[in-house]
Amino acid sequence: MTFPDEKFSSVADYADVYFAEVGKAQASVDRKKLTQALKLLDAAYERGATLYVCGNGGSASISNHLVCDHSKGGQTDTDLRPKVVSLATNIEMITAIANDIDFDDVFVYQLRTLAENGDVLLTISASGDSENVVRAAEWANKNGVEVIAFTGFEGGRTAKLANVNLHVKGDNYGVVEDAHQSLMHILAQYVRLSRMKEDVIKKRKF
């Protein structure tokens, strides 16, 4: 069975079940792997490496949002200067690659151009099987770029390619994306929080 698998009598009833599904999806995330992802990101920011992020559709939106929260937010009141690049944001480059080469290469082409050994790639894909995301992860594995994968559904190929797979149990795109957005916020806020002085934390809004 998938959610939803029936009609609902009201949007309020649907909201109640939807919110419950989001809660279950968030609770399903392996906390040990979340800690591993945090350590990987924190170490990358500490050494001045670049984090590259990619995804399609709603996941592209999370990729772009991640740049703001990790780069701008991560250096507010801290000693960090996180370098974060979304491979989903440069529409001129994306359409040129898609038109002249192949849409499946829109992320890996940029990664080959920009990434260095020691950088990190974070892929966001509910299915874990988007070909352009998979190709980026495959290239990263062969070129000294560690991979964090946000996945849902069955995990797909990126779950197996990742150094750290943050998997969300869910079979509804909206629910999985909501959980991925939460993971993005949690990692961004905790990186910042861990570097802030106690007295400053009390004065700030997150």
pLDDT tens for each residue of the chain, 206 residues long: 689 999 999 999 999 999 999 999 999 999 999 999 999 999 999 999 999 999 999 999 999 999 999 999 999 999 999 999 999 999 999 999 999 999 999 999 999 999 999 999 999 999 999 999 999 999 999 999 999 999 999 999 999 999 999 999 999 999 999 999 999 999 999 999 999 888 899 888 88
Q: Is residue 2 part of a domain?
A: no
Task: Report d(CA 163, CA 166) in Å as an integer.
Answer: 10
Q: pLDDT by residue (tens digit) across 149-179?
A: 999 999 999 999 999 999 999 999 999 999 9
Q: Is residue 12 part of a domain?
A: no
Are 167 and 156 in contact by the 8 Å Cβ rule? The answer is: no
| Stated pTM of the model | 0.95
Pairing of strands 83-86, 120-125: unpaired
Q: Is residue 4 part of a domain?
A: no
Q: Is residue 23 part of a domain?
A: no
Q: Is residue 18 part of a domain?
A: no
Q: pLDDT by residue (tens digit) across 120-154?
A: 999 999 999 999 999 999 999 999 999 999 999 99
Give the 3-state secondary structure of residue 50: strand
Q: Which domain holds residue 184?
A: 30-197
Measuring CA to CA, which residue among 96, 91, 161, 89 is closest to residue 122?
161
Number of domains in the chain: 1
